[in-house]
């Protein structure tokens, strides 16, 4: 059973690829079967935290990083640390293995590279291999190392306007919503008519059929910001609204996106809870689809935030 502190390694070359696949499948299977809600929430949050640090990485790669180095913050290849950051990997450190795409000339018919195409039964011969476009033909394990495994020059400070101050981030999110063609209205407590809800998202807002979000204003602007991200996630993930059967599951999706984006922007979201019982008994293929949806939506919002 996976735990928050669990780590794995893929030191054996002959079994590395299979073990990487099995580790991902095992994590999904364990999450699916966990009946202790607190443990499930903590385990899921640990992955979300890694995803907030590596939002450009695929779900599979962030799962692999989490299982091998749960406290990772910045990873790069051996030569990249040396050539681009003037740092070197400390003696005795073990690599973190992730998937990297194999890019080569690709057969338009079977999608394989020239060598595999030659061994296949594909009969495509409209153009010779040297005229094929390059593309991804597969994935191969590659080693990377976390900054905590390296020594050398400090990393340059990133020039960013994003901070943990909700009052700074909130206007950026309002601009982001406009860019995404989503209406947002901040409502005073006196005018709020939606009970204990902190925000609501309507699938259609005006004549242009734009989603319409209402968020309750209060003194804690960081909390208002987190709520706004949650509702923006609903607008992007669930444009047709939420039916009763999927409500609890989709609330987890939206809150997961809010957690990733909030953590990325420096806001304290550690009190977030995820009612993962709503995902219980889903097939692992359905879980990975949900994780990919969460990852893509968080990535989209982060890219928009960073553009301001």
Query: For 4-17, what is each residue's pLDDT tens digit?
Result: 445 688 989 999 99
Q: Which two tokens stand for residue 225?
A: 């910001």
Residue where one domain finishes, among candidates 117, 152, 187: 152
| Same domain membership, residue 69 and residue 121 | no
| H runs (alpha helix) in 34-149 | 37-53, 59-68, 78-85, 114-119
Residue 20: both structure tokens together: 């990487």
For residues 242 and 128, membership in a common domain is answered with no
pLDDT in tens, 156-173: 654 333 334 566 788 999
Query: pLDDT for 244-273, tens place per residue?
Result: 667 888 888 999 999 999 989 888 777 676
3-class secondary structure, 10: coil
pLDDT of res. 166: 62
Please give the residue range of the domain that contains residue 131.
Answer: 78-152
Residue 9 is assigned to a structural domain of this protein = no
SS3 231: helix
Q: Tell me how many domains the chain contains.
A: 2
Token pair 């922007």 is at which residue? 265
Instruction: Annotate 77-101 with b (16+ C-beta within 10 A) or e (fewer).
Output: bbeebeeebebebeeeeebbbbbee
pTM: 0.77
Whether residue 85 is found in the same domain as residue 59:
no
Q: Are residues 164 and 259 in the same domain?
A: yes
Residue 3 lies in a domain: no
User: Could you tell me if residue 5 is inside a domain?
Assistant: no
Average pLDDT over residues 116-140: 79
Distance CA 59, CA 291 (A): 7
* Same domain? 218 vs 285: yes
Pick 206 or 228 by higher pLDDT.
Answer: 228
128, 152, 176 - which closes a domain: 152
Residue 193, Cβ density class (10 Å: 0-12 exposed, 13-18 middle, ≥19 buried)? exposed
Which of 152, 171, 202 is the endpoint of a domain?
A: 152
> What is the per-residue pLDDT across 140-149, written as a single tens digit (0 to 9) for each?
999 999 999 9
Q: Does pLDDT of 209 surpass 80?
A: no
58 and 177 inside one domain: yes
The strand order across the sheet containing 75-76 reads: 75-76, 134-146, 96-105
């Amino acid at each position: 059973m996976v735990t928050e502190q669990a780590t794995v390694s893929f030191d054996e070359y002959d079994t590395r690829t299979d073990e990487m696949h099995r580790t991902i499948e095992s994590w999904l299977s364990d999450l699916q079967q966990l009946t202790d809600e607190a443990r499930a929430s903590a385990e899921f949050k640990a992955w979300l935290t890694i995803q907030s640090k590596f939002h450009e990485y695929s779900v599979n790669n962030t799962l692999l990083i989490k299982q091998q180095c749960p406290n990772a913050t910045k990873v790069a290849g051996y030569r990249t640390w040396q050539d681009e950051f003037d740092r070197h990997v400390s003696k005795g450190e073990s690599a973190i293995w992730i998937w990297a795409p194999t890019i080569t000339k690709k057969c338009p018919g079977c999608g394989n590279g020239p060598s595999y195409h030659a061994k296949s039964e594909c009969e495509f011969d409209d153009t010779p291999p040297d005229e094929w476009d390059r593309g991804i033909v597969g994935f191969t394990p590659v080693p990377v190392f976390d900054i905590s495994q390296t020594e050398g020059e400090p990393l340059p400070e990133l020039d960013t306007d994003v901070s943990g101050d909700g009052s700074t981030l909130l206007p950026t999110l309002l601009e982001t919503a406009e860019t995404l063609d989503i209406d947002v209205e901040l409502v005073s407590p006196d005018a709020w008519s939606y009970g204990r809800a902190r925000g609501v998202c309507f699938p259609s807002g005006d004549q242009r059929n734009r989603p319409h979000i209402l968020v309750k204003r209060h003194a804690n602007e960081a909390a208002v910001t987190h709520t706004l991200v949650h509702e923006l996630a609903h607008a992007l993930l669930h444009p047709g609204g939420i039916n009763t059967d999927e409500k609890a599951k989709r609330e987890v999706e939206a809150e997961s996106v809010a957690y990733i984006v909030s953590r990325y922007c420096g806001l304290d979201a550690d009190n977030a809870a995820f009612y993962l019982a709503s995902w219980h008994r889903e097939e692992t293929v359905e879980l990975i689809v949900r994780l990919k949806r969460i990852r893509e939506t968080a990535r989209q919002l982060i890219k928009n935030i960073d553009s301001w």
